[in-house]
Structure 1
């Protein structure tokens, strides 16, 4: 089981899209995948699921219910919030706006995601966490539960904001709660070819991204097909199979699997939960 957090403390850099597409590609390669939507906005959830197919969300797993008659209730186990996606071997723990209340929960609950994944996540090859786009208890909780971090970054000055803060946050998580957390790499996302990013500009971008680790070779262009796919409840590699956007997603997936030293295609299916 490899747990990968997709994180950046800057919004609008394609974090949710990257999490959605990477997890889908891994599932389509034959791996059993779980995705945790850890963003109260729930955009990843909405891109896969209609609201009538689930009741429990990640908020029910992480947040202690209000006491009734002085009796303290426990949060739900992770298994009770897992929902199958249309891809079959990709499951989702959905999010809703109530997840924002986690910021006001006791500090000891920051360990709950990690503990629940250890207990209920062992049937999965990969667990992807779509992190919230701001520093707080939710982001810290996700990083505490993760083995690796992938950082999406837009290829402009605005997109580079927050990288030093994220690098500091990751350093603090390593120092205080999760010494095993590793930077898997950064992805130049939302790349616009018409900007003609010069070699000098790319070097500047890569130097900024190097604050948080390796830069993947594959750039993800800002293709409209990627934005269209969620409305069809499909990843772009199925929505637009022959489009360049799909080729880039497969290429990035290969890079990620190679860095993890895992086969690009799973040879045998994981037995059911």
Structure 2
């Protein structure tokens, strides 16, 4: 896992191996400054450790001015309530990108991962030529990756990648490929309405226009045209019921959502335990026993169930 900044800085990466206990040979082969993850998957616990023990110390070492913004994909494996609290304390504002946000992460693909993949292939080819009787395994993965990173990932290349992406957006705006509304759109009940009748139709249409000596801009959605229509929330075409997450992971709304979910889960667990206790009491025969004997038998029954 890599983290890059727009000024060309590369954070210490994390290598995640498919082990619960990483073998000693692999640990010794990794650069001591690099971090190691387990289980082969990016989990919320692994990402929490990465933020707390890798990313934040790296930012402090580089004398980075806080707060900082960290952009992530919207995958739930990165996100949990504890991470939100940690980043709020460390002044790391996490923004979870919405789906299909490739244009935001494109500088990483163009300026970093494309040359890194090419350099990786060259390093593997060179290693195989130098070790014809050996097989590339997990022990040699991290050293070769470090070599590929040192050769293929350059600060100037990364910085120019972000800069080139910004230049392309400016050119699209100049060529009118990207339409921008420069003014704030508001509606006013005091707007003057001009009534006009089209020559080809008998229907009367109304349109809103600028009121003289008035700073308010009065426009209608119909006047925006097909390109400047008011934005609407995207509609999911599939049938899956996906819960929308707030983009700002360190926001109070995100933390409140997690607290409500945790409270609901605890309430459901308590109701479940209450139903079990009620059912056990109903099935218990109380004829011929005093209260102390009933308590003793009930406790024994609970122990047998456990």
So what's the TM-score if we normalise by structure 2?
0.25
Q: Which structure's relative contact order is higher, taking Cα pairs within 8 Å and 6+ residues apart?
A: 1
Greater Rg by CA:
2
- The structure with more strand, counted as a fraction of residues: 1
